Amino acid sequence: MLTAITRNVSPSMGQCELTYLERVDIDIALAQEQHARYKEALETLGCKGISLPVEPDLPDAVFVEDAAVVLDEVAVITRPGAETRRPETHSVAQALRAYRGLVYIEAPGTLDGGDVLRIGKQIYVGTSGRSNRAGIEQMAAALERFRYRVTPVPVHGCLHLKSAVTLVAPACLLINRAWVDEPYFQGYPCIAADPLEPDGANGLWVGDAVVYSAAHPRTRERLEARGLRVVSVNVSEMEKAEGAVTCCSLIFEAGG
């Protein structure tokens, strides 16, 4: 069955890391409410939810995606590129230990889960400001025995690879071509985010649907025009923290 690890919004989220956005006030109560609706959407789509304890002193801890990459065979515990975020991995590793063997990215490597896009046995990793060559090489070495192919992909103008491209159906990508070069993904059908919605390339494929931000209605129309079922969520407060829909969960198959 599908399992979704999440972590409720920290009261300190207003002090989050920001790279491309200006800091604006975040309504923490609203963020918590939106996060609760997000978790409900995942449960409606068949995920069993596991909610990690809130981390009051770790502003970005709601973005659990960055702390690990969970594959069928193993989970990679990352070493996030932002130093303030490294303590987030401890409790994520603790939770994942019940489901997978763990491997760790170690210094000088850095890797954010938001940079990791898996399509079958092919893994693309963004060479962003957060994930470095050493981190990507460590991941490739750890996953070689499971026959994964790891390919670094440059991203420009956005935080993570999955800000620029995500999987929204089996082998169908949602992409912002301004932030990542499409030729890297040759052979996969692509839906382009509407040019007026550059942040619209982040969708979370779960079961038979795409969990998708209400902030991008034009791109939503494009997804629906291709026959995809969209489950809309309002994540405006997470978006002020430079988060999006994929980064608020770690979703994987777990027996039972």
Cα distance between residue 6 and residue 217, in whole Å: 25
Whole-number Å distance between alpha carbons of 193 and 162: 13
Q: Are 216 and 199 in contact (CB under 8 A)?
A: yes
Binding-residue pattern over the window 58 to 97 for ligand CIR, x denoting contact by CB under 6 A: --x--x-xx---------------x--x------------
Binding status of residue 35 toward ligand CIR by CB under 6 A? no
Among 39, 79, 100, 160, binds ligand CIR (CB under 6 A): 160
- Which residue among 16, 47, 172, 247 is the active-site one? 247
Minimum separation from the CB atom of position 98 to ligand CIR (A): 23
Annotated catalytic residue 158: no
243 binds ligand CIR (CB under 6 A): yes
Instruction: Give the closest residue to 81 by CA, choosing from 117, 125, 135.
Output: 135
Dihedral of the alpha carbons of 163, 165, 170, 172, in degrees to the nearest 10: 140
Closest contact distance (angstroms) between CB of 131 and ligand CIR is 11
- As a whole number of Å, the end-to-end CA separation of the chain is 6
Q: Quick one: 111 or 247, whose CB is closer to ligand CIR?
A: 247
180 vs 244 by CB, closer to ligand CIR: 244
The residue of the chain with the least Cβ separation from ligand CIR equals 114
Binding ligand CIR (rule: CB under 6 A), the pick from 114, 135, 200, 203 is 114
Strands (E), 83-197: 102-104, 116-119, 122-127, 149-154, 165-169, 172-175, 190-192
Active site residue 160: yes
| Residue 242 lies near ligand CIR (rule: CB under 6 A) | yes
**Separation CA 204–CA 139 (nearest Å):** 23
Contacts of 227 (CB under 8 A, 6+ apart): none
Q: Which residues bind ligand CIR (CB under 6 A)?
A: 16-17, 19, 60, 63, 65-66, 82, 85, 114, 160, 241-244, 247
Could you list the active site residues? 160, 247
